[in-house]
Amino acid sequence: MEMIKIYEGNLVNARELHEFLEVKTPFNKWIKRMLEYGFTENVDYLTMDKKVHRQILKEFHLTISCAKEISMIQRTEKGKQARLYFIEAEQTLSEIKKNKRLESFLKLETTKDKLLKNIASMGGGKQDFIQIDFEARKVFFNGDPVSDDELHIALMKARDFATEMTNLNFNNFEGLDDVEADHKRNHQDVRDLLQENTGKVPEDLPPQKNVKKLGE
């Protein structure tokens, strides 16, 4: 269960942490005081401006380690809960770093999410993304595709490369049909490259254990 959302694998929104901890002090005063405990910008936390209506808010994104230490400082039951949660999250991250297949899967998911956002910028929706990506996966496998979480690591990397090429080409597209055509072409290219260099095609590599079931 995700008690406090962790973004991009290692970042925590300070406002969301402040809300979870049920701190009575206003956020701006609280975060300023917390960061005075020796945390360094661009090492322990990142900042960015976010426009909300006509107001510009300064957002703080903490590393898990920073969020854990800030939780300890609170000396409350909520702070204790958050600290234990972040310790567990750090352990999970450590396991991920040892699991190259899971690392490749998460990289692919990030690249796919970028494609989804690009499609949304063109007026498309989640269903459009699913359809476009499914058609490309069919090309990649020359038939029925295997779920991404069951792919061999080489196929995850190939899918990631093909999807990243689609993202890089996005400024050249005039509509969703162009996106689908390019995405299919990129998957055909990486399929051909795989066959040329290994003598194998994606369907020659059988499905593997669901990578999301880490440690089971």
Give tens-digit pLDDT for 52-71: 777 888 899 999 999 999 99
The confidence score (pLDDT) of residue 215 equals 45
Domain residues for the domain of 118 are 100-204
Q: At how many degrees (to 10) do helices 77-98 and 64-74 cross?
A: 160
User: Of 32, 62, 37, which Cα lies nearest the Cα of 47?
Assistant: 62
Examine residue 216 and state whether it is found in any structural domain, yes or no. Answer: no
**Domain end call among 57, 76, 98:** 98
- Prediction pTM value: 0.58
Longest dimension (CA), the chain: 63
Alpha helix segments (H runs only) across 99-152: 100-121, 126-141
pLDDT for the residue numbered 10? 85
Do residues 126 and 32 both lie within one domain?
Answer: no
Q: Are the C-beta atoms of 141 and 202 separated by less than 8 Å?
A: yes
Which residue, of 98, 130, 151, is where some domain finishes?
98
Q: Check whether residue 29 and residue 49 sit in a common domain.
A: yes
Which pLDDT does position 9 carry in this prediction?
Answer: 73
- CA atoms of 108 and 151, how far apart (whole Å): 11
Q: What digits encode the pLDDT tens for the residues 27-42?
A: 999 999 999 999 999 9
Question: What's the confidence (pLDDT) of residue 216?
Answer: 44
Enumerate the β-bridge partners of residue 58.
49
In the chain, the percentage of residues whose pLDDT exceeds 90 is 78
